[in-house]
Structure 1
């Protein structure tokens, strides 16, 4: 009887256990500098590289756009390629490469974490209330800062 009760309790806990996290990685603090983000990513990436994006694609770049490429950042339960995009030494976007076959699971988890989607179009499924979106091609998830919201959300 005790084993049955224990088994039932474990099954109940497993059903309520949260799945892999789909929120913005904690290392991605919008407004953080390149140096602060490099320090936050130390030991979290298999490889890390910082590079200049020239010409910049981000809006209103006054000095420079830099990007940290992180290979191996664990997100949604697996190591991923992630790109941290900086405008004038301020983190504004994070792109996380995913697999197209993860779409249903990631979108279900994003809906559970952020509420219903705000936009669905040919290129993106967006959760503007969370500054997040799924991009179809290539399959990736983007998180963007409030400062980038008007620019990003124009694409949705």
Structure 2
């Protein structure tokens, strides 16, 4: 009878001992498959962090913008009214907002009104347009469309 009572006690004791010291199923370095997976995870994290850093750096750099102003004017040339365009130089700026645009527009209007052409031919401005681009090439192409006629 005593053997039967010892059996549950022995099982309980073994279970308690094995539960107190659980062994890890895998150790890093013991399984090349796990090491390979960990290396891939770390490499993927590095790529993701590098991409985030690249995007943050791109956004922190000021994006250059290109602006020019076009005035449509009418001048009284030898007893007939003549319409023409007055186009400013392309300006390269880091930040273009309404304040900057208004200042540049006023400068271009002032330059025209003080020009000899406006004074001699009684020039009047009929329309004012401001164009903003993200590349010089785009700005130049648009500006040239007002300056170069293919007649």
- TM-score, normalization: structure 1? 0.27
The structure with the largest strand share of the pair is 1
The structure with the largest helix share of the pair is 2
- Structure index of larger Rg: 2
- TM-score, normalization: structure 2? 0.27
Greater RCO, 1 or 2 (C-alpha within 8 Å, sep 6+): 2
